[in-house]
């Protein structure tokens, strides 16, 4: 497969909600996430889809006020399509997006991809003692 066979879009009408949900519901960061939650999250975020033809093979979304703050979430490329620079292209598209310029703070949380994100200027929190969180890891188990 050639990297030229892939396209990245922010067109939410092209996003394959079922494919995104199928992947995200199996991840370490959102196991069991309900389809309705994925749908609402996409509706309220800037969504970036990676496509090979009509097949969605990657995804990321950015929660943002488009002025001062953004949070990068749900980044993935399907395993069969990894190793071709698609994650890097996806991050390049996100960082080039006109509505994500001039932000004061751009956050993300990751367990495994520090090297990728470091290429785009992400680093450990400068002042972690200033950051707080309200964390409910079992939220999807409680939803019915």
pLDDT (0 to 100) of residue 144 = 47
Report residue 41: phi and psi, to 5°. -60, -45
Report residue 106: phi and psi, to 5°. -130, 115
Alpha helices (H) in 44-143, listed in sequence order: 86-96, 114-118, 139-142
Q: How far apart are alpha carbons 6 and 89 in whole angstroms?
A: 10
Q: List the pLDDT tens digit at each of the 144 positions of the chain.
A: 665 799 999 999 999 999 999 999 999 999 999 999 999 999 999 999 999 999 999 999 999 999 999 999 999 999 999 999 999 999 999 999 999 999 999 999 999 899 999 999 999 999 999 999 998 888 888 654
Please report, for residues 15, 65, 87, 99, 103, the alpha-carbon distance to residue 69 in angstroms, rounded to integers and kept in the order given: 24, 6, 22, 11, 6
Which CATH number is associated with domain 3-142?
3.40.630.30
pLDDT (0 to 100) of residue 32 = 94
pLDDT (0 to 100) of residue 18 = 98
What residues does each domain of the chain span? 3-142
Short-list 31, 35, 63, CA closest to 48: 63
Q: How far apart are alpha carbons 62 and 74 in whole angstroms?
A: 9
């Amino acid at each position: 497969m050639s990297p030229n066979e892939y396209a990245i879009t922010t067109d939410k009408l092209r996003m394959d909600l079922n494919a995104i949900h199928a992947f995200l519901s199996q991840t370490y960061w959102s196991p069991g996430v309900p389809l309705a939650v994925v749908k609402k999250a996409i509706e309220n975020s800037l969504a970036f889809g990676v496509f090979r033809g009509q097949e969605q093979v990657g995804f990321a979304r950015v929660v943002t006020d488009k002025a001062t703050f953004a949070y990068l979430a749900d980044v993935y490329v399907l395993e069969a399509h990894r190793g071709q620079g698609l994650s890097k292209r996806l991050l390049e598209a996100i960082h080039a997006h006109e509505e994500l310029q001039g932000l004061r703070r751009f956050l993300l949380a990751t367990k495994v991809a520090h090297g990728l994100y470091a290429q785009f200027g992400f680093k450990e929190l400068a002042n972690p003692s200033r950051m707080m969180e309200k964390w409910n890891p079992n939220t999807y188990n409680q939803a019915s």
